[in-house]
Structure 1
Amino acid sequence: MTATKKGNKPGIRRVGRTLAFQVLFGACFDDPKRPVSIETQFDVNPLVIEQESEAALDFARELVLGVTAHLAELDKTIEAHSQHWKIERIAVVERTILRLSLYEMQHTDIPVKAAINEAIELSKTFGDNKSRSFVNGILDGAAKRMDK
């Protein structure tokens, strides 16, 4: 018996999460004078178009729409745990990762520790050397408050 990672839930979720991050990150650079719906941005994203896994696409779409729907709440949580940093001062990569992870922590069935670990993996891939500890610190603080 050989087990393959292809098609398992964590693999699908990681791919979906990465796609969601990339769509949300790209949306941060849209021209406010020419708004495009997040659904359209998702549908026309080249990485989404190339993705063959329907399950990964469904998961990514759920995350993108969820983050977008809860953006104000997520940003408020980030600001509460970022030691007096305004949301606009946080780098786009970290801000996007934090929004995505907090959405997973607060609004999905994904365990909090798993959401934090996945956020750290995203920060290793897309952030700089300081991203991991910054993201971990804010998410850890948010997780502790959720426990109370």
Structure 2
Amino acid sequence: MSLDPAEANTANRHKGRECALQMLFAADLTDTGAEAVIDNYWRELGDGAVDMATRDFADRIVAGTLTHLEDIDELIKKRTEHWRIERMALVDRNILRLAVFEFRYCDTPNPVAINEALEVARRFSTYEATQFINGVLDGIRLDIEAAGTAEPDSGQPATTQQ
């Protein structure tokens, strides 16, 4: 059974987000920059079956997230008053970062970014984490929409909506 182009794009983007999370996790753990973590991931860990469009999508998310990390972390901190970002589980904080990057710098609709973050969390984290991530992301979404700052950044990922 083959996927139509829209379904294939959705599946590619989902896989791309999973790969991006793994790269962000590695960057966070090793304090490695975007270029090195991307190169290392695809050389050592990357799924050889991932097509170039998925790989490019993942690479752009990682590079963009790491470029805008301070801004992204500030948005997360505003919605996690009783949680220091450094104390959050590595997986959870990087799922949050990935989704907030999509909110701010991609043309992915915010509800889609939240849903995708929750799907990734279900695979890589815990049930309780999905509830936490959902609450934090919904609050950040409201903050961004109220401020009117959810605009695509021309040099960053996602040129088509999911």
Q: TM-score, normalised by structure 1?
A: 0.89
Instruction: Name the CA distance, whole Å, in 1 between partners of 2:95 and 2:16.
Output: 13
Asked if structure 2 preserves the Cα contact closer than 8 Å seen for 1:82 and 1:138, the reply is yes
Instruction: Name the CA distance, whole Å, in 2 between partners of 1:67 and 1:51.
Output: 24
* Paired amino acid for 2:3: T
Matched, 1:19 2:15: no
Matched, 1:126 2:136: no
Q: Secondary structure at the match of 1:29?
A: helix
The partner residue of 2:58 within 54, 57, 60 is 60
Could you tell me how far 1:84 is from its partner in structure 2? 2.7
Q: What corresponds to 1:147 in structure 2? A: 145
The partner residue of 1:42 within 30, 38, 51 is 38
Matched, 1:28 2:28: yes
* Paired amino acid for 2:18: T
Runs of 5+ consecutive residues of structure 1 not aligned to the other structure: none
Matched, 1:137 2:119: no
Q: What corresponds to 1:8 in structure 2? A: 8
* Paired amino acid for 1:65: A
Instruction: For CA contacts below 8 A with separation 6 or more, give which structure has more relative contact order.
Output: 2
- State the percentage of identical aligned residues: 34
Instruction: Name the CA distance, whole Å, in 2 between partners of 1:49 and 1:126.
Output: 16
Asked if structure 2 preserves the Cα contact closer than 8 Å seen for 1:51 and 1:57, the reply is no
Runs of 5+ consecutive residues of structure 2 not aligned to the other structure: 147-162
Instruction: Name the CA distance, whole Å, in 1 between partners of 2:124 and 2:47.
Output: 21
- CA RMSD in angstroms comes to 1.8
